[in-house]
């Protein structure tokens, strides 16, 4: 695909400033809000069951993240997700730690069963678990998969009926038919808590302005990864990288993404 498509989507995000409703991880909630702002969208964090559905109805996308999961939060996610589905608002699910505990795994399966999830954004271990092909998770970190990551992502997309955005050294995005590899990023992102959560927020921003959720997920991961590459210039370690990452995302332009997106199609597909 011509990479100008990704730049054009980014321009639409910045022009439209879509509202991205989060029910998300309390550890990283501030980072998720700020990366959404730096990407050009508008964040709102609303998990109270009394307002979750109403807020979802006002948003352009809904991001659900189970990083600090509670039963009350699950109820709010279902209420918000059902309202988003009624209105055709894309739901992005980040299955943080799926496979680590029964509660997390069962919650993800419940959300996938009860809601129409547009994009499932997870690391290799989480997606491996949910694909049924096997993956390992340690706490909320990926232990990886034993098989071919591309096939794991494709199978998970087919099994769940969602677009799968699987993050790793090379990100894999698949809807079960089309599959793309995104090579943007830096290993430093793995040394900082919250980068996976932030990737889901950026994905929500792109999904809010595109009917093609596969392309939106590819563009979002390329943009976030490219911001990470630029943040490495002059940083000294994880925390200076964190500060630089927000600035790099803020300064990134549509033309930058069109020129810098490292997107390819796997051989033979």
Q: What are the average pLDDT values for consecutive 10-residue runs of the chain, which has 269 residues?
A: 91 98 95 98 97 97 96 96 98 91 92 97 90 55 62 92 95 96 96 94 98 97 98 93 97 97 84
Instruction: Name the strand (E) or helix (H) holding 31.
Output: helix 29-39
* pLDDT value of position 129: 84
Query: What does the alpha-carbon distance between residue 214 and residue 216 come to, in Å, rounded to a whole number?
Result: 5
Length of the chain: 269
pLDDT value of residue 268: 57
Would you state the structure tokens that stand for residue 250, as one six-digit string?
């803020």
Write out the DSSP string of 175-210: -SS-EEEE----GGGGGSTTHHHHHHHHHHHHHTT-
Q: What is the pTM of this model?
A: 0.94
**Is residue 45 exposed (0-12), middle (13-18) or buried (19+ Cβ within 10 Å)?**
middle
| CA atoms of 76 and 34, how far apart (whole Å) | 22
* pLDDT (0 to 100) of residue 77: 97
Angstrom distance (rounded) from CA 98 to CA 260: 32
DSSP assignment of 99-168 equals TTBHHHHHHHHHHHHHS--SEEEEEHHHHHHHHTS--EEETTEEEE-SS-HHHHHHHHHHHHTSEEEEES
Strands of 19-23's sheet in order across: 42-45, 19-23, 61-65, 91-94, 119-123, 163-167, 171-174, 179-182, 263-264
| Homologous superfamily of 4-264 | Ribokinase (3.40.1190.20)
Parse the chain into domains and list their residue ranges. Answer: 4-264
Q: In the numeric block, which tokens belong to residue 18?
A: 């879509």
How far apart CA 184 and CA 31 sit, in angstroms, is 20
Could you give the C-alpha distances from 27 to 70, 96, 127, 195, 197, in angstroms and in order?
A: 13, 12, 22, 12, 10
pLDDT of residue 141: 42
Write down the pLDDT at residue 209.
97
């Amino acid at each position: 695909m011509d990479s100008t498509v990704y730049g054009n989507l980014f321009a639409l995000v910045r022009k439209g400033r879509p509202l991205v409703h989060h029910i998300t991880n309390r550890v990283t909630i501030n980072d998720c809000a700020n990366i959404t702002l730096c990407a050009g969208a508008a964040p709102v964090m609303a998990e109270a069951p009394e307002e979750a559905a109403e807020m979802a109805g006002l948003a352009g996308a809904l991001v659900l993240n189970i990083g600090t999961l509670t039963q009350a939060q699950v109820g709010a996610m279902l209420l918000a997700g059902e309202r988003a589905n009624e209105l055709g608002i894309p739901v992005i699910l980040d299955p943080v730690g799926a496979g680590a505990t029964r509660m997390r795994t069962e919650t993800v399966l419940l959300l996938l069963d009860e809601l129409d999830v547009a994009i499932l954004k997870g690391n290799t271990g989480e997606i491996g678990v949910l694909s049924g092909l096997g993956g390992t998770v340690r706490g909320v970190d990926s232990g990886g998969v034993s098989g071919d990551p591309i096939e794991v992502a494709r199978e998970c997309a087919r099994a769940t009926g969602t677009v799968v955005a699987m993050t790793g050294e090379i990100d894999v995005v698949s809807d079960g038919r089309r599959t793309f590899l995104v090579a943007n990023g830096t290993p430093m992102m793995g040394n900082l808590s919250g980068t996976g959560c932030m990737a889901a927020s950026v994905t929500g921003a792109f999904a809010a302005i595109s009917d093609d959720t596969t392309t939106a997920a590819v563009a979002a991961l390329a943009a976030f990864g490219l911001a990470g590459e630029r943040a490495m210039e002059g940083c000294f370690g994880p925390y200076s990288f964190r500060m630089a990452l927000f600035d790099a995302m803020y300064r990134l332009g549509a033309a930058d993404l069109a020129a810098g997106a490292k997107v390819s199609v796997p051989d033979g597909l």
